[in-house]
Amino acid sequence: SRMMAFDLATGNTLWETPLTTTRACYGVPLLRTNTAGEQEIIGANTGDGIFALRPSDGKLLWRLPVFTARVVSCPLQVDDLLIATAGAGGGGNHLVAVMPPDRYEVTKNQSTAQPAEAYRIERNAPYVPTPAVVGTSLYSVDDRGIAACFDGMSGDSLWTVRLGGNFGASPVVIGEKMLAIALDGTAHVISLSGKKSPPFSLGADVQATPTLFDSGMLLRVGNELCCLSTKN
């Protein structure tokens, strides 16, 4: 495993940082600004857990191994906490929140504090889908069709709703509602308070997460790329 950076203009490799190799992980890194005003690349994988690299040269700044399974979802930030999930097709999913070090010793080029696990969720935690963040709330759907809302600061469960079906695409929040689409193309709309509307079919399988823009949504349905309006 390794993290790589490339020059956008030429494609040349700028740096490569080895990571702890365990099993293939697929999450997209997160760019975070720490309390010292410095940027960090936040990644998540099985071997290193939640970790931070310096964007300029790829130096590993800190790491906290917190996972025992494969990481497929993308890391998230809720206030000062960094959150990611891991799991397997047969269960054993876990969502973990980590408090990162709060500052860095510039002269020694290393962390003056250690990251710490803030909380862990194992009931109704997603594996493949990445939760959506609204304020300090996490809105999620696990792979077996349980939609949930968690307090992102404490990990407390605020509500759960059984949708049914199998899920791979991540939920998205549009206004005051969450859209979660099952692998068979069944779409579920749930209010942010946990009230669900009748499901409807999109007519084909859906595995990709919708992409939102100002007035619409791009969604891959079967072999087609669809543009849907999100205006009322």
pLDDT tens for 92-118 read 899 999 999 864 444 455 545 789 999
Tell me the DSSP string of 7-22.
Answer: -TTT--EEEEEE---S
Is residue 178 within 8 A of residue 129, CB to CB? The reply is no
pLDDT at 106: 41
Please give the model's pTM, rounded to 2 decimal places.
0.90
Instruction: Give the pLDDT of residue 49.
Output: 96
In eight-state DSSP terms, residue 196 is B
Decide if 26 contacts 71 (C-beta within 8 A). yes
Other C-beta atoms closer than 10 Å to the C-beta of 199 total 15
Instruction: Reply yes or no on whether the pLDDT at 133 is more than 50.
Output: yes
Q: What is the pLDDT of residue 104?
A: 45
Q: How far is CA 211 from the centre of its chain?
A: 14
* pLDDT value, residue 109: 54
Q: Is 76's pLDDT higher than 90?
A: yes
Whether the pLDDT of residue 147 is over 50: the answer is yes
Q: What is the mean pLDDT of residues 153-163?
A: 97
Instruction: For the chain, give the percent of residues with pLDDT over 70.
Output: 95
- Residue whose token pair is 């997603």: 126
Q: Which regions of 47-115 does DSSP assign to beta strands (E)?
A: 49-53, 60-64, 76-78, 81-86, 94-99, 104-105, 110-111
Instruction: Answer whether residue 72 shows pLDDT above 50.
Output: yes
Kindly report which listed range (32-41, 43-52, 133-142) carries the lowest average pLDDT score: 32-41
Q: Would you say residue 21 has pLDDT above 80?
A: yes
Cα–Cα distance for residue pair 41/212, rounded to 1 Å = 23
In percent, the amount of the chain with pLDDT more than 90 equals 81
Mean pLDDT score across all residues of the chain: 92
Tell me, what's the pLDDT at 231?
Answer: 74
Residue 150 near residue 156 (C-beta atoms within 8 A): yes
181 token code pair: 């689409």
Q: Render pLDDT for 170-217 as a digit per residue (tens, 0 to 9).
A: 999 999 999 999 999 999 999 999 999 999 999 999 999 999 998 889
